[in-house]
Structure 1
Amino acid sequence: MAPFIYALCAVTSSVCAILLLRSYFDSRYRLLLWAGLCFVALTINNLLMVADKLIFLEEHMLTLRLSVSLVAVCFLLYGLIFDE
């Protein structure tokens, strides 16, 4: 059941990223760009989670996953603070 949930999280975040970036290209509202980039990084984070939990069982990718999550949050914070 856990592999299904990990994959579902990755699919959900990638769909959110696609919808946000598509909406940005239609409207050019910059906050959509930053939110889309945040969800792209969260998709990468979820894919790393799948790889960490299902493929590379002996190695731990926690530091890499947390770094990607930090980048995702920084994208969103930058968009919220510096864009109008």
Structure 2
Amino acid sequence: MRVVVTVMPKPGVLDPQGRAVGHALSNLGFAGVGEVRIGKVVVLDLAETDADAARAIGEDMARRLLANTVIESYRVTVEA
């Protein structure tokens, strides 16, 4: 099964990379862009065939390694 972990800075956490991209977009003439947040997506192909078990494994990976849970939140989705 494919597990997708999306990691984003928590609300209120400074995101200098997002701010820089937002500023650059403005300089390029893209008006109306509000706050920009930069995160990461981790795609994992697991040998697990049960969707609930794959999600649990993805959650454990995210909590233990893929996300810094002090400043980042994460979402785990499972694709067949």
Rg comparison, structure with higher value: 2
More helix by share: 1
TM-score in same-fold range (> 0.5): no
TM-score w.r.t. the length of structure 2 is 0.27
**Greater RCO structure (CA 8 Å; 6+ sep):** 2
